[in-house]
């Protein structure tokens, strides 16, 4: 029996699941994607609300640069991504400080002259990491084959790979200190703000290698996706269908059927039972446990691990606000206090003149801030009125920072809608509404796609290398590799 006789079910039509499904379908595997919602994309979807089409998360398109993960995926699947490079990746605002993040670091170095050697080193590290990950890095290793693969990549990348070794177990804070930059509060806050949105933690805890490639995203370029970020998911779903697979919507998986260490199939909320040889779960580990009856109730009902959800505002805004700002993506940071929980915002506006996403002379705007999930669920459980009051408080705090950093927005709002971690749980099926993946603090504590089942593998932002389009697409390649490796061991 060849791969055309192998049936793989993908749970969830997020970018990680769709990328894995599309790569498997291109290789001849029978792929069926089951998505609970009526549209694809998960955390990177675009949805309609009234007269607007909003991106679910405040986000930028990354990884479409030549040789980047999305560029390579598109060429492999014959997808011509409808993207256009943004002239400004995003604009950073902190008090009176304004920094446009551009392919060149010149304006940042002009503002922070002592940082040049830091950025030179960051560029060297990032170049080496892009090369190492170009074919998908077999990490965390799973057996001698992966050890040999990592060693082979390292040897092929000499001498760059040797230069990475001193940074493997260092924090970004130690890295800053080695350049004498830890004593500059404005520079540290700038770096911390970038790291929080990309590696889910700040310099005190972020690993240097994760930080270096995250800080490289503006240099590699950000891209405007025609129709919104959800277009990426739509085109991946169409690729699966072209290659003989199926993407089924409003098909919520409620149970995984298994015997010992083998998954037999899944059950859906509409009463269907589907058999599978392989399963790819575009879920968080907590969400997977919740579907797995073999997991003890004590495991399935645990509070979430340390991680973030998001509080969101979806706004209709007069287009002139962003024309005056000079960028469609803004990062707004309060003068003091820990980042997140409305003290740092990421703002994304639909392109000017995109009639599919907003009425004439308006923009569909998505704003996000990091928030912890548990207080939202506990508050709703205690009292609905308190929950609504909490939502209003966060709305007011978010708008206050928006108006402080972007005063022209005050009289330009046409509509305001708020969403909380409970919204994310409903939209994505993620337990506790956790989004953004894990905090990238160590290369040696990351989670790979393997699970306790021989034929079920995770994909998405919960597995290495984590969040963002480049991250989940790179991770999907690793998942596909393990699926095919396992399939090769099966005796049909």
Name which residue leads in pLDDT, 23 or 435: 23
Question: Phi/psi of residue 165, each to 5°?
Answer: -55, -40
Question: Residue 154 above 70 pLDDT?
Answer: no
Looking at mean pLDDT, say which of 21-35, 123-137, 207-221, 307-321 comes out highest: 21-35
Ranges 71-85, 138-152, 234-248: which has the least confidence: 138-152
Question: Residue 388 above 50 pLDDT?
Answer: yes
Quote the pLDDT of residue 340. 86
Mutual orientation of helices 69-77 and 230-242 as an angle, nearest 10°?
A: 30
pLDDT band at 157 (very low <50, low <70, confident <90, very high): low
The 10 Å Cβ neighbour count of residue 324 is 12
Q: What is the pLDDT of residues 293-315, one digit of tens each?
A: 766 655 555 555 567 899 999 99
Q: What are the distances in angstroms from CA 52 to CA 157, 259, 262?
A: 47, 47, 45
Beta strand 413-419 with 362-371 is: unpaired
The 10 Å Cβ neighbour count of residue 152 is 11
For all residues of the chain together, what is the average pLDDT?
A: 90
Name which residue leads in pLDDT, 415 or 491: 415
The encoded tokens of residue 179 equal 């350049």
Quote the pLDDT of residue 304. 58
pLDDT band at 151 (very low <50, low <70, confident <90, very high): low
CA-wise closest residue to 99 among 167, 193, 173, 180: 193
Q: What is the pLDDT of residues 201-242, one digit of tens each?
A: 999 999 998 899 899 989 988 999 999 999 999 999 999 999
Name which residue leads in pLDDT, 155 or 427: 427
Q: The dihedral of CA 461, 58, 230, 421: what is its sign?
A: positive
Q: What is the pLDDT of residues 323-336, one digit of tens each?
A: 999 999 999 999 88
Q: Are 289 and 47 in contact (CB under 8 A)?
A: no
Quote the pLDDT of residue 492. 41
Name which residue leads in pLDDT, 215 or 431: 215
Q: What is the pLDDT of residues 238-294, one digit of tens each?
A: 999 999 999 999 999 999 999 989 999 999 999 999 999 999 999 998 899 888 876
Question: Residue 377 above 60 pLDDT?
Answer: yes
| % of the chain exceeding 70 in pLDDT | 90
CA-wise closest residue to 87 among 223, 209, 287: 223
Quote the pLDDT of residue 128. 83
Name which residue leads in pLDDT, 113 or 492: 113
Ranges 12-21, 113-122, 270-279, 338-347: which has the least confidence: 338-347
Strand ranges across the sheet with 413-419: 97-101, 90-94, 329-333, 344-349, 362-371, 309-318, 413-419
Q: What is the pLDDT of residues 35-65, one digit of tens each?
A: 999 999 999 999 999 999 999 987 889 999 9
- Distance of alpha carbon 368 from alpha carbon 269, whole angstroms: 31
Beta bridge partners of 263: 258
Ranges 1-15, 29-43, 93-107, 250-264: which has the least confidence: 1-15
């Amino acid at each position: 029996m060849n791969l055309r006789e192998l049936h793989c079910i993908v749970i969830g039509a997020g970018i990680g699941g769709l990328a894995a499904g599309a790569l498997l379908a291109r290789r001849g595997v029978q792929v069926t994607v089951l998505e609970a919602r009526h549209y694809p994309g998960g955390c990177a979807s675009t949805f309609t609300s009234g007269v607007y089409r909003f991106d679910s998360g405040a986000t930028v398109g990354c990884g479409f640069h030549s040789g980047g993960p999305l560029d390579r995926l598109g060429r492999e699947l014959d997808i011509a991504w409808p993207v256009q490079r943004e002239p400004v990746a995003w604009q950073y605002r902190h008090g009176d400080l304004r920094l446009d993040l551009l392919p060149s670091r010149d304006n940042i170095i002009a503002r922070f002259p002592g940082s040049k050697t830091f950025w030179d080193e960051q560029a060297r590290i990032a170049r080496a990491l892009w090369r190492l990950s170009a074919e998908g890095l077999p990490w965390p290793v799973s057996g001698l084959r992966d050890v040999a693969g990592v060693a082979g990549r390292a040897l092929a990348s000499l001498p760059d790979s040797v230069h990475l070794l001193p940074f493997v177990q260092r924090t970004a804070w130690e890295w800053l200190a080695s350049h004498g930059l830890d004593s500059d509060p404005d520079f540290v806050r700038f770096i911390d703000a970038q790291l929080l949105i990309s590696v889910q933690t700040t310099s005190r805890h972020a690993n240097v290698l994760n930080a270096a490639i995250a800080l490289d995203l503006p240099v590699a370029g950000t891209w405007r996706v025609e129709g919104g970020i959800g277009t990426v998911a739509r085109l991946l779903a169409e690729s699966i269908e072209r290659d003989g697979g199926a993407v089924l919507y409003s098909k919520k998986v409620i149970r995984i059927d298994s015997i010992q260490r083998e998954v037999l199939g899944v059950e859906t909320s509409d009463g269907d039972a589907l058999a599978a040889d392989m399963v790819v779960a575009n879920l968080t580990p907590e969400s997977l446990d919740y579907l797995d009856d073999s997991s003890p109730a004590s495991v399935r009902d645990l509070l979430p691990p340390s991680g973030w959800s998001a509080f969101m505002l979806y706004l209709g805004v007069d287009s002139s606000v962003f024309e005056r700002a000079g960028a469609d993506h803004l990062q707004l940071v309060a003068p003091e206090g820990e980042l997140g929980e409305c003290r740092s915002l990421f703002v994304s506006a639909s392109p000017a003149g995109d009639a599919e996403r907003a009425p004439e002379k308006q923009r569909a705007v998505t704003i996000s801030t990091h928030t912890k999930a548990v207080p939202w669920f506990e508050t709703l459980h205690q009292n609905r009125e308190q929950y609504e009051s909490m939502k209003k408080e966060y709305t007011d705090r978010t708008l206050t920072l928006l108006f402080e950093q972007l005063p022209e927005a005050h009289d330009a709002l046409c509509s305001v809608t708020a969403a909380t971690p409970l919204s994310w749980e409903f939209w994505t099926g993620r337990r506790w509404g956790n989004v953004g993946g894990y905090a990238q603090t160590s290369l040696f504590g990351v989670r790979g796609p393997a699970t306790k089942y021989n034929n079920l593998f995770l994909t998405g932002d919960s597995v290495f290398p984590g969040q963002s389009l480049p991250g989940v697409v790179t991770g999907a390649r690793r998942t596909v590799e393990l699926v095919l490796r396992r399939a090769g061991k099966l005796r049909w």
